[in-house]
Amino acid sequence: MKTNEKFHQSDSRTSHSDSLSGENDQEQLLTLEQTAERLAVSLPTLRAWVWKKKIEVVRIGRCVRVREKIVQEVISRNTCPADSPSQF
């Protein structure tokens, strides 16, 4: 009976890790190079934004990453509707 308990425990771990991998698909982390490309800005500009805390980043050790969700928020926050007067 103990072998069945072990089997069920490993099953629950497997299903738990499967659900975590599904979350990782939604929460993709981008490198600064990928982020700069998606925002169509230079890498030095993006690094300045990170330094000035204009864009939220995730730090993992020495690695700096940007959530894809944050990139979409930056784009939508800085999008002007076509029918509004120009701010330039």
Report the side by side order of strands in the sheet with 58-60.
Answer: 29-30, 63-67, 58-60
Torsion of CA 27, 33, 34, 37, to 10 degrees: 140
Q: Show the tokens assigned to 26.
A: 């939604």
pLDDT value at residue 66:
97
Tell which wins on pLDDT, 71 or 19: 71
Q: What does the pLDDT look like over 41-88, one tens digit per residue?
A: 999 999 999 999 999 999 999 999 999 999 999 999 999 888 766 666
Say what the pTM is.
0.63
Lowest mean pLDDT among 3-7, 27-31, 41-45: 3-7
β-pairing verdict for 58-60 and 29-30:
unpaired
Q: Show the tokens assigned to 60.
A: 């993992």
What are the structural domains, with CATH classification, of the chain?
26-78 (1.10.1660)
